[in-house]
Amino acid sequence: MKNWITILFLIFGTSAFSQITNTIRGVITDEFSGEPLIGANVVITSLDPIKGTVSDFNGEFRLDSVPIGRHDLVISYIGYAPKNYANIELNTGKEMVLSVKMLQLSNELEGVEVKANNANETLNKLATNSSVSFSVEEAQRYAGSLNDVSRMAQNFAGVQGADDSRNDIIIRGNSPSGVLYRLGGLDIPNPNHFARFGTTGGPVSMLNTNVLDKSDFFTGAFPAEYGNALAGVFDLNLRRGNNKKFEFLFQIGFNGLEGMFEGPFSKKSKASFLINYRYSTLGLFKLMGINFGTTAVPNYQDMNFNITIPTKKGVTRIFGLGGISKIQFIAKELSADGDLFANGGEDTYFKSLTGVAGLSHKHRLGNSNFIELIVGVQAAANSIHVDTVDLNFENPFRTYGNNTMEGKQTTSFHYGQKLSSKHYLKTGIYFDVLFYNLQDSVFQGNPNDFLNLRNTKGASALIQPYIEYQYKPTNRINLNFGLHYQHLLVGNQWNIEPRFGFDWKVNESNKLSLAYGYHSQTAPLALYFLESTDSLGNTFKTNTDVKFMKSHHVVLGYELFLKWGIHLKLEGYYQYIHDALVEEKSSSYSLINLGAAFDDIYRDSLTNNGFGYNVGGEITVEKRMQNGLYFLVNSSIFNSEYKASDGVWRNTAFNGNFTVNILGGYEWRLKQKKEFNKKGKPNPKVAFTFDTKVVMNGGGRYTEILLAESIAAGEEVRDYNNSFAKQWPLYFKWNFRLGFKMIGKKVTQEWAVDFQNMTNRKNVFNYEYLDESQSIRYIYQTGFLPIVQYRILF
């Protein structure tokens, strides 16, 4: 009998021990001060029986032998709002490491039950509305996102893409150039390959989602710590590397071939590193005959890294990203149907280089205050040369040249003080030293006759101090006050910007909010130093004294939390833009439309006499993943108009009038008949994922080509007296993503196919006049495009 008991114990003991499991661990700190919370309860509520632990003296917790799959965690601490992590996915090959920041309640004795329902809350607790947090899993899961955070953000209410060629994001009718990217506390340049100065989008992102942590995205009326932006803010965080064990990732797909390596520096140290390198694979797509918008082959590579060194009272980080890209558009190789990126009759050679490096140290002075110092350096360089060819694609001669470099050195200092559970104060300053070398010229029609557009180098500075204060009279009411100051030495221009926010949790299901922000933004550096030439050949700069473009933004919001994890959100907004840059002479030109074309042309002799407005409403119905199912449905109705120096109110280039996004997906985890094989080892777990997205946007605005006038002139002539009066047909696109995941004891493998534009709809991109045939040619956006991806974690 004893022998049978021993045998049964060994069988079931071995089975339990051999289950496919991994570790969930992390650190729990106060939201504002960063002080470790000792003795916080951590419970996995999705297990039966439940499994839990408490945080130690350093605020750290660890749960070993957790079965792989999706789990719900609830973290609680006396005097703090509970924290809920719903449906987090635990796989093999990578531990789940959480950085938990908990919010202290203003009055624990109010008798108010505070539920752990914070999946939609932003990391920045000074945000009132027009904000959303997003996870890396969402960026990788949504159909059509292509592991790109910018394309992922196009799924949110009030946001749409410019076109299929770039990942620009248009927020509430604003120019995509009005978006600020912040990484690890540093305001960074355009983080995309093949990017042009003065823009924020590009065909391929350098921000690799595999190294990003949960981050915030703002679509208006953002807190006072953000400046120099009119449209929105990406506040991105880099993930800490695993400081206990080494982990690896290999991935190949549309964005490239990449590898990631992370781990501890030593067994005795809590410091960690994370590094990711990627090289382009679009050349393979061309060999396979897949059309991705151009016949040219983009070549690029990039790297992201993050080093984290915990200290006794804080943490030091060394981080950065860099990218190199080049492409050649050869006229005779371009498609007869047009190209999304190039003009016919020209050979264009483009190279770009971008680099960002930062060092930060955050130090806790006590239990309720901290200081943080961030220093960084960044630079971006472009080389663009254009040769015009004849009708036989021969006899090239140079018509445009550009060798430009822009960079800055940033020093920022921040101080935060939790005065009490009801009062919080944060202040700081960003000091940017700007340096530049701007050189470009254009051919004027005579041999060796090039006109300099810019030929200058130098330095300037941008100074941005701010102060924020939050008052919580009760656990249900937050009042946020802020003041931002912005001063640019070019033109000695400055602006004082008040910010305000109010949100009221009426009960556990209803929330009201109101936010206001006054914002300003500098013009692109290249615009300030544009040179004009008079009839005598004298050159002078006419834009050095232009001021910031400014806007008032008001947002009213309502949220309803329903059963089954369904979240309803309504927002209405009005944005008034003044001091917009327009020409001194009467014309329809305004910098409000910057970003409508890849090769935007700056004008000289600008003044701040333009205006604009954006008004609209948004509705979102969302269900974050639960029991394998999720959906996100939103719609926006808006109007966006501007007034230039001719005094006429017109549609902006981005006034599509409406957007609709319908996303959904299901994850099906197969139940295995046999959990273990004949050798007693666990069989791999298998899961299928099905994700879909339908997007419908009002067609883009365009300026009509005057065919008769173009034929007479021998070149394209547009009706600029009626700029953006015409609108393309409805933009419609259906994407579908099919994924397969195999989770072994130590390795997780994933296969996915992202089917872009399932209906192969021909969405109009643009049209152009062809003088050789005296006709108009339409250029369409990408058609049906299957994209395969493979990833392995170990």
Domain boundary among the residues 118, 142, 169 is at 118
What sign does the CA torsion over 124, 166, 430, 271 have?
A: positive
> Mean per-residue pLDDT for 276-295?
74
Q: How confident is the model at residue 287 (pLDDT cuts 50, 70, 90)?
A: low
Percent share of the chain, pLDDT over 90 = 65
What does each C-alpha distance from 740 to 630, 676, 677, 727, 789 come to in angstroms? 17, 21, 21, 41, 11
Same domain for 740 and 611: yes
How far apart are the C-alpha atoms of 225 and 426, rounded to whole Å? 9
DSSP secondary structure letter of residue 367: S
Same domain for 243 and 365: yes
The pLDDT score that the predictor gives to residue 147 is: 87
- The torsion angles phi and psi of 548, rounded to 5 degrees, stand at -60, 145
pLDDT above 80 for 253: yes
- Structural domain includes residue 142: no
Q: How confident is the model at residue 125 (pLDDT cuts 50, 70, 90)?
A: confident
What 3-state class would DSSP assign to 8?
A: helix
Same domain for 221 and 109: no
Residue partners of 130: CB distance under 8 A and separation at least 6 = 158, 218, 219, 220, 221, 222, 515, 555, 557, 571, 573
Least confident piece of the model among 218-232, 433-447, 492-506: 433-447
- Structural domain includes residue 204: no
How far apart are the C-alpha atoms of 771 and 447, rounded to whole Å? 24
Same domain for 628 and 481: yes
- Residue 321 identity (one-letter amino acid): L
How far apart are the C-alpha atoms of 628 and 697, rounded to whole Å? 29
Q: Are 327 and 281 in contact (CB under 8 A)?
A: no
Q: What are the beta bridge partners of residue 769? A: 776
Rg of the chain taking only CA atoms, in angstroms: 27
Same domain for 430 and 567: yes
What 3-state class would DSSP assign to 235?
A: strand
CA 489 remoteness from chain centre = 29
What does each C-alpha distance from 398 to 67, 349, 370, 393 come to in angstroms? 64, 11, 56, 14
Q: Are 156 and 567 in contact (CB under 8 A)?
A: no
Same domain for 729 and 586: yes
pLDDT, tens digit, for every residue of 143-157? 888 888 999 999 999
pLDDT above 90 for 736: yes
pLDDT above 50 for 5: no
DSSP secondary structure letter of residue 333: G
The pLDDT score that the predictor gives to residue 86 is: 85
What does each C-alpha distance from 389 to 26, 295, 343, 345 come to in angstroms? 61, 18, 11, 6
pLDDT above 80 for 221: yes
> What is the CATH classification number for the domain harbouring 581?
2.40.170.20
pLDDT above 80 for 107: no
The pLDDT score that the predictor gives to residue 15 is: 38
- Structural domain includes residue 729: yes
The pLDDT score that the predictor gives to residue 120 is: 64
Residue partners of 785: CB distance under 8 A and separation at least 6 = 290, 291, 292, 755, 756, 757
Residue partners of 131: CB distance under 8 A and separation at least 6 = 122, 124, 216, 217, 218, 219, 222
Residue partners of 123: CB distance under 8 A and separation at least 6 = 101, 133, 214, 215, 216, 235, 237
How many other CB atoms are there within 10 angstroms of residue 493's CB atom? 18
Which is nearest to 131 in space by CA: 204, 56, 199, 219? 219
- Residue 422 identity (one-letter amino acid): K
Domain extent, residue 408, equals 217-793
- The torsion angles phi and psi of 525, rounded to 5 degrees, stand at -55, -40
Which is nearest to 705 in space by CA: 761, 779, 642? 779
The pLDDT score that the predictor gives to residue 8 is: 35
pLDDT, tens digit, for every residue of 603-651? 999 999 999 999 999 999 999 888 889 999 999 999 999 999 999 999 9
pLDDT above 90 for 671: no
How far apart are the C-alpha atoms of 206 and 332, rounded to whole Å? 30
The pLDDT score that the predictor gives to residue 11 is: 35
The pLDDT score that the predictor gives to residue 2 is: 42
What does each C-alpha distance from 135 to 34, 177, 219, 449 come to in angstroms? 21, 24, 17, 53
- The torsion angles phi and psi of 593, rounded to 5 degrees, stand at -95, 10
> What is the CATH classification number for the domain harbouring 83?
2.60.40.1120
What sign does the CA torsion over 53, 58, 59, 64 have?
A: negative
pLDDT, tens digit, for every residue of 689-706? 999 999 999 999 999 999
What does each C-alpha distance from 374 to 180, 199, 417 come to in angstroms? 18, 25, 18
pLDDT, tens digit, for every residue of 339-355? 666 677 788 899 999 99
Q: DSSP string spanning 596-630? A: SSTT----SSEEEEEEEEEEEEEEEEEEEEETTEE
The pLDDT score that the predictor gives to residue 12 is: 37
How many other CB atoms are there within 10 angstroms of residue 760's CB atom? 11
Same domain for 221 and 112: no
How far apart are the C-alpha atoms of 93 and 750, rounded to whole Å? 12
- Structural domain includes residue 409: yes
When the pLDDT of each residue in the chain is averaged and rounded to a whole number, the result is 89
Which is nearest to 216 in space by CA: 255, 185, 191, 188? 185
3-state SS of 129-195 is: CCEEEECHHHHHHCCCCCCCHHHHHCCCCCEEECCCCCCCEEECCCCHHHEEEEECCEECCCCEECC
Determine the Cα angle at 754 with ends 752 and 759, to 5°: 150
Neighbouring C-alpha atoms within 13 Å toward the C-beta of 533? 12
- The span from the first CA to the last CA of the chain, in angstroms, equals 43
Same domain for 237 and 110: no
The pLDDT score that the predictor gives to residue 6 is: 38
The pLDDT score that the predictor gives to residue 680 is: 64
Same domain for 509 and 363: yes
Omega before 465 within 30 of 0, i.e. cis: no
DSSP secondary structure letter of residue 117: -
Helices and strands (H, E) in the chain, number of each type: 6, 45
How far apart are the C-alpha atoms of 244 and 247, rounded to whole Å? 10
The pLDDT score that the predictor gives to residue 286 is: 65
Q: How confident is the model at residue 129 (pLDDT cuts 50, 70, 90)?
A: very high
The pLDDT score that the predictor gives to residue 441 is: 84
- Structural domain includes residue 153: no
> Mean per-residue pLDDT for 21-39?
90
For tokens 């100074």, what's the residue?
463
Same domain for 638 and 495: yes
Domain boundary among the residues 60, 93, 118 is at 118
pLDDT, tens digit, for every residue of 171-199? 999 999 999 999 999 999 999 998 877 78
pLDDT, tens digit, for every residue of 61-84? 999 989 988 999 999 999 898 998
Q: Are 746 and 92 in contact (CB under 8 A)?
A: yes
The pLDDT score that the predictor gives to residue 447 is: 55
Same domain for 371 and 494: yes
pLDDT above 80 for 470: yes
The pLDDT score that the predictor gives to residue 9 is: 35
The pLDDT score that the predictor gives to residue 601 is: 75
- Residue 341 identity (one-letter amino acid): F
What 3-state class would DSSP assign to 402?
A: strand
pLDDT above 70 for 490: yes
Least confident piece of the model among 135-139, 559-563, 721-725, 774-778: 135-139
- Structural domain includes residue 187: no
Domain boundary among the residues 94, 118, 142 is at 118
- Structural domain includes residue 439: yes
Same domain for 106 and 221: no
Q: Which helix (H) or strand (E) holds 709?
A: helix 707-713
Percent share of the chain, pLDDT over 70 = 91
Total domain count, the chain: 2
How far apart are the C-alpha atoms of 135 and 122, rounded to whole Å? 11
- Structural domain includes residue 11: yes
